[in-house]
Amino acid sequence: MRSRVGIYVTTATVLLVFLASLAVLDAERRAPGANITSFGNALWWTFVTIATVGYGDFTPVTIEGRLIAVALMLGGIALVGVVTATLASWIVDRVADLTRDQGADK
């Protein structure tokens, strides 16, 4: 089950990054004062935003770009939550197994 969750999360993350990069590039490329004008810049901005690092070297200037940024930030937070929950579940299972094994030895 956890391996399937890992595959789903990885696939969803790749799709989210790619689609957000294309969407922000489409929203920003022709806007006055925009600095996200190439796919490379859009991809970098997407990785920085989804990781919630936010260097600020590239920022959206359009309403559409900013809405994409909000959705991407929420996606990054959800991604961290899923990874954390999966890891916590694995740890709880391991502790339960160890406790059960120790109880059987007595």
Over the chain, what HEC string results?
A: CHHHHHHHHHHHHHHHHHHHHHHHHHHHCCCCCCCCCCHHHHHHHHHHHHCCCCCCCCCCCCHHHHHHHHHHHHHHHHHHHHHHHHHHHHHHHHHHHHHHHHHHHC
Fold of 2-105: Helix Hairpins (1.10.287)
pLDDT digits (tens, 9 = 90+) for 24-81: 999 999 999 999 999 999 999 999 998 878 788 899 999 999 999 999 999 888 888 8
pLDDT digits (tens, 9 = 90+) for 41-56: 999 999 999 887 878 8
* pLDDT band at residue 97 using 50, 70 and 90 as cut-offs: confident
Is the pTM value of this prediction over 0.85? no
